[in-house]
């Protein structure tokens, strides 16, 4: 019995790669977080490898991709979730902002490189920005009342559409 169990898990276990920004990274921090739920779902079939990189945009994610790929022989499924930081306002947050055309190119390259190891790649769109909550939780505690927002619902929607276009084309 022990040899059956150990052979089942030794080297032959596939990976599920979660690759993205802080939304991915923090998917295991909360009870019932999306990454934690996936890890529970796949617990006997695959190792869920969370490679969420807080603060990263698609440009930095593309540069970091090779060091984030799981060492497993097979990757059964991968998610790619960038865009929340890419869509930051270029004048208020030039460090994180990535123009939408470059974002699409970066996502395409990320998906194509992951597809070399994994057929099933899911591109997730950046979530909508609830501006009032974003202001209260992220902007005002750091920059004070009345500080301008570096994210908006309209821009997050355009990056979500771009992610959908990449998903459909790849």
Distance CA 152, CA 129 (A): 6
Query: Which residue of the set 3, 7, 22, 67 is catalytic?
Result: 22
Contacts 24+ apart (CB under 8 A), 130-139: none
Three-state secondary structure readout of 97-119: CCCHHHHHHHHHHHHHHHHCCCC
Q: At how many degrees (to 10) do helices 58-68 and 100-115 cross?
A: 10
Closest CA to 17 of 75, 74, 56: 75
Closest CA to 135 of 153, 116, 149, 152: 149
Respond yes or no: is residue 91 known to be catalytic. no
Q: Which residues are part of the catalytic machinery? A: 22
């Amino acid at each position: 019995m022990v040899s059956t169990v150990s052979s089942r898990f030794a080297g032959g276990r596939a990976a599920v790669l979660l690759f993205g920004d802080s939304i991915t990274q923090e998917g295991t921090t909360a009870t019932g977080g999306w990454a934690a739920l996936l890890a529970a779902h796949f617990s006997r079939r695959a190792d869920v490898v969370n490679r969420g990189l807080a603060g990263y945009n698609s440009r930095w994610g593309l540069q970091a991709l090779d060091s984030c790929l799981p060492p497993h022989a097979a990757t059964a499924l991968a998610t790619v979730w960038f865009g929340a930081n890419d869509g930051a306002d270029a004048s208020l947050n030039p460090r994180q902002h990535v123009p939408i055309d470059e974002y699409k190119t970066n996502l395409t390259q990320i998906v194509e490189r992951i597809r070399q190891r994994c057929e099933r790649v899911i591109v997730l769109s950046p979530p909508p920005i609830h501006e009032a909550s974003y202001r209260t939780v992220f902007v005002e505690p750091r920059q004070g009342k009345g500080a301008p927002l570096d994210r908006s619902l309209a821009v997050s929607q355009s990056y979500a559409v771009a992610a959908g276009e990449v998903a459909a084309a790849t």
